[in-house]
Amino acid sequence: MRRYIIFSFWIVLMYPLGVDLHLTGLPRIAADLNAAESALHIAFSVYLAGMASTMLIAGWCADHIGRRPVALAGAVIFALASVAAGSATTTTFFLIARFAQGVGAGFCYVVTFALLRDVLSGQARAKVLSMMNGITCIAPVLAPVIGFIILLYFHWSVMFYVCAAYALVSIIFCLCFIKETRPKKPPQTDKNSNDIKVAKEEFLNTFFLTRLAISCLGMGVILTYVNVSPMILMGQMQFTSGQFSVAMALLAVVSMSISFSMPKIITAFNSRSVLYTALGLFLLNALLLGIFLCGADYVALLLVVFGLCGAGFSLMFGIIMSQALSPFVTRAGMASSVLAISQLSFASAYIWIMAQTGVPSVTMLFIILLTTSLAGAILLKRYPDRPE
């Protein structure tokens, strides 16, 4: 059991590693490829496009072919794409390699949740998924530092070769220690059940849709916070880039601390209470931002809000994802894909619409916090926990 958890933690880190490791090298990459640095920032969108465009394929393959082959395919694609990105001599080739990197990361991301759905159940899965959120919080803090150290001694391409080596370790780990976990037979449908749709593992069942909606709102909160925090702190509050980096690192520690404490929290309190606490923190944040918008423009107030955004999301993530996956056994791969694509699409669409309509950064965060806290509480009240 432990090796599956370690493997899941390892491969899920490909996604943030592909995002953050090379960031400090962007100026040198731009110089070598004769491209504007701003043009290379498109590589982030291209990377996410690679992830999103193939997640459904990864989910289908995980359910019909197996978790292990999908994990291996994702790691191989990520490794080859990383080598290609490190060897790129033109911007176009670099962007194509980044898209392929996203494909590999997306395969591994999807199969992680399906694999954990196979080997863990109920409370144990919620605990592990919560800790996984803490693991992924480490990458944005450490990866740029590692990238900076690499740049001190090597060419920027080595950063991508490190990504390839990371994927190679995943391949070896999978081949040597991981067995197939995909269920062999579909579950028997209880014809007397009051929830036939759940028994048939259909996605259009109320329990799954409510948990999907809450998870999308939660992802909207955390990605909006990440997106607007530079504009608020460096734009409005005049933070230097160094001050901003220190602040974000400390805020990440808050999220990590909560995530790694979740096993004890879930043991001590029931899941429903923890979810309501998370939504309560979002509502408190909305009230604090309301005070900020009314003229109390204190930096400390903003930092408290940002810290509570991470804390609330950390309290929510593992439990809501575990509940969303709970109705699915043979279709856990597709369920993971639907969750991931919906979360990224909702958050991206919200941020884009708010930006296009000219909504200020603080107001953008205020709206999603208030909406998530109220809508989430209504959904939890109306559609309570479904026993596993």
| Domain assignment present for 189 | no
| Helical (H) or strand (E) element with 359 | none
Report if residue 372 sits inside a domain: yes
Using CA atoms, how far residue 145 sits from 13, 25, 65, 89, 301, in Å, is: 16, 11, 38, 25, 28
387 within some domain: no
pLDDT of residue 42: 77
| Residues 145, 35 within the same domain | yes
CA-based radius of gyration for the chain: 21
Residue 82: inside a domain, yes or no?
A: yes
User: What is the per-residue pLDDT for 200?
Assistant: 65
3-state DSSP assignment of residue 32? helix
| Eight-state DSSP code of residue 384 | -
Residue type, 133: N
The reported pLDDT for the residue numbered 237 is 84
The CATH number given to whatever domain includes residue 115 is: 1.20.1250.20
Instruction: Identify the three-state secondary structure at position 193.
Output: coil
Q: Which pLDDT score is estimated for 171?
A: 97
Decide if 187 is inside a domain. no
**Residue 186 forms part of a structural domain:** no
Residue 184 lies in a domain: no
CB 274 within 8 A of CB 265: yes
* Whether residue 31 is found in the same domain as residue 136: yes
pLDDT at 37: 63
Q: How many other CB atoms sit within 10 Å of the CB of residue 194?
A: 7
DSSP label of 178:
-
Q: What is the pLDDT of residue 277?
A: 97
Average pLDDT by stretches of 10, the chain with 388 residues: 92 89 83 79 81 92 95 98 95 94 95 93 89 84 83 93 97 95 64 47 90 95 86 83 80 90 93 96 96 86 93 95 91 93 90 88 94 96 71
Asked whether residue 24 is domain-assigned, the answer is yes
DSSP 41: T
Mark whether 212 and 357 lie in a shared domain: yes
Rounded to whole angstroms, the Cα distance separating 133 from 343 reads 15
Shared domain for 137 and 208, answered yes or no, is: no
* Cα(208)–Cα(324) distance, integer angstroms: 5
Which two structure tokens, joined as six digits, stand for 4? 């599956």
Q: Are residues 171 and 202 in the same domain?
A: no
User: Same domain for 172 and 230?
Assistant: no
Do 9 and 38 fall into the same domain? Answer: yes
DSSP for 229-251, please give it.
Answer: HHIIIIIIS---HHHHHHHHHHH
- Coil, strand or helix at 308: helix
- Distance, in Å, from the CA atom of 380 to the CA atom of 374, rounded to the nearest integer, reads 10
Residues 254 and 320 in one domain: yes
- At 238 the pLDDT is 84
Residues 373, 276: Cα–Cα separation, whole Å: 9
Report how many domains make up the chain: 2
Question: For residue 28, what are its two tokens?
Answer: 């040198």
Structural domain range at position 42: 2-177
Give residue 386's pLDDT: 61
Q: 138 and 45: one domain?
A: yes
Based on the fold, state whether residues 57 and 159 are members of the same structural domain: yes
**Contact call for residues 374 and 286 (beta carbons, < 8 A):** no
Which residue, among 41, 144, 22, 49, has the nearest Cα to 348 in the 3D structure? 49
Task: Provide DSSP, 49-88.
Answer: HHHHHHHHHHHHHHHHT-HHHHHHHHHHHHHHHHHHHHT-
Mention every residue, 6+ apart, whose C-beta is less than 8 A from residue 133: 255, 259, 313, 314, 317, 318
Residue for token pair 């884009």: 352
Question: Is the Cβ–Cβ distance between 67 and 181 less than 8 Å?
Answer: yes
- What region does 308 belong to: left with phi over 0, alpha with psi -120 to 50, or beta? alpha
